[in-house]
Every structure is written in structure tokens, then in C-alpha cells.
């Protein structure tokens, strides 16, 4: 049986953590568009040269920060949805939970705002970051459902995770009430996944 455990992630060094903490504070204080690498270096109490040796540019710094923030919630959120009884509940509540968390996270919410769409496209889509993080969250859930026959055996899980990531980003941008999201996911997403009965 293939290994279904999530990928092992190495913990960043204390120096990288300090830089990411400083970047987090700067993005919260100045905003995504106005934060400079100099702001982050100053907040981290390091030289700009040291910062650039660690992160080549703002995009790589922001990518690392988004990755860290997302991974802080992945295992806890996955455990929460895996405790639910049915595939429908896991998919509906998992997507709804991810959307709520993304919408409430000031950095993620700002990142997917209309003002930051070009940057968001680069960070989340072009780099594959959104799909990578969505895959980390959903692959064990979906693989388990495939193994038990709850979803179609022919589904490409990587492609499915990419589709879910795009759907979640759309919902984060246009957050409607969560009951509507639940209905849309139950009516359109779940039927696309389930095996023909």
C-alpha cells in the first residue's frame, strides 16, 4: 500500500523564523504593496545583504510566509475534518473551513484582494504554491476516500487538488455566507467526486 502520510516538512532555522516573524509584522503594519525588503531587514535586526542571502526577493519572502502560515493549520484542520462521518461532510466542511481560515487571515485576505491579484497569481498559481498546500491538506483525505470507494478510482488527485485550490481561492475572494458555500460544494463538488452508484 502506498504511503499516504503528508510530506515531511523541515522546520526553518531560528534565523529564518525571525525573518518570517519580522516580515509578518511588516506586512500587517505597512500592507503587502508598501512593505520593502529594507523594512523587513530592519524589523529582523539584520542587514539587507543577510536578508537577500536568505530570500532573493519580496516574492520569495512572501511565498515562504504564506507557506508557513498555511502549514500552521493543515494538520489540525485535516484531523478535524477526518473525524467527520461521511465524504460529503469531509469535503463540504473541509472546503468551508479552508475558505473561512483564508478569509480571516489578514495576509491571505489581502493577498487575494483585487489590488494584489497580479501578485497573488504569481505567488499562488504560477509557482504552484496554492496547489502544493492544497495537496498537502487534501491528498490524505482524498486518497483514503478513494481507497474505501467513496470517490471515483479514476480521479487524478493532483489535478483534483489544483481544482479545489482554485475553488477555495475564488470563495476566499468572494466570501458569501458559509451556508451558501456548503450548498454549492454539496450540490456540485461532491457529485463530481463520487463513484457512480
pLDDT per position as a tens digit, 4-53: 444 444 556 899 999 999 999 999 999 988 999 999 999 999 999 999 99
Distances (CA, A) of 135 to 33, 40, 41, 106: 28, 30, 32, 22
How far, in Å, CA of 186 to CA of 191, rounded?
A: 7
Domain 70-193 has CATH 2.60.40: no
Kindly report whether the global pTM for this prediction surpasses the value 0.85: no
Domain boundaries in the chain? 11-56, 70-193
SS3 170: helix
CATH of domain 11-56: 1.10.10.60
Amino acid at each position: 500500500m502506498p504511503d499516504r502520510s503528508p510530506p515531511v516538512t523541515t522546520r526553518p532555522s531560528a534565523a529564518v523564523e525571525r525573518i518570517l516573524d519580522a516580515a509578518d509584522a511588516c506586512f500587517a503594519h505597512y500592507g503587502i504593496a508598501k512593505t520593502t525588503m529594507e523594512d523587513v531587514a530592519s524589523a529582523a535586526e539584520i542587514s539587507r545583504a543577510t536578508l537577500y542571502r536568505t530570500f532573493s526577493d519580496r516574492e520569495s519572502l512572501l511565498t515562504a510566509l504564506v507557506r508557513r502560515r498555511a502549514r500552521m493549520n493543515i494538520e489540525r484542520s485535516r484531523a478535524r475534518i477526518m473525524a467527520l462521518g461521511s465524504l460529503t461532510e469531509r469535503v463540504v466542511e473541509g472546503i468551508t473551513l479552508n475558505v473561512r481560515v483564508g478569509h480571516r487571515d489578514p495576509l491571505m485576505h489581502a493577498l487575494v484582494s483585487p489590488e494584489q491579484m497580479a501578485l497573488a497569481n504569481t505567488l499562488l498559481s504560477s509557482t504552484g504554491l496554492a496547489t502544493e498546500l492544497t495537496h498537502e491538506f487534501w491528498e490524505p483525505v482524498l486518497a483514503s476516500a478513494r481507497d474505501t470507494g467513496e470517490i471515483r478510482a479514476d480521479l487524478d488527485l493532483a489535478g483534483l487538488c489544483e481544482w479545489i485550490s482554485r475553488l477555495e481561492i475564488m470563495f476566499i475572494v468572494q466570501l458569501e455566507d458559509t451556508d451558501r458555500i456548503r450548498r454549492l460544494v454539496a450540490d456540485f463538488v461532491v457529485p463530481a467526486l463520487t463513484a457512480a452508484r
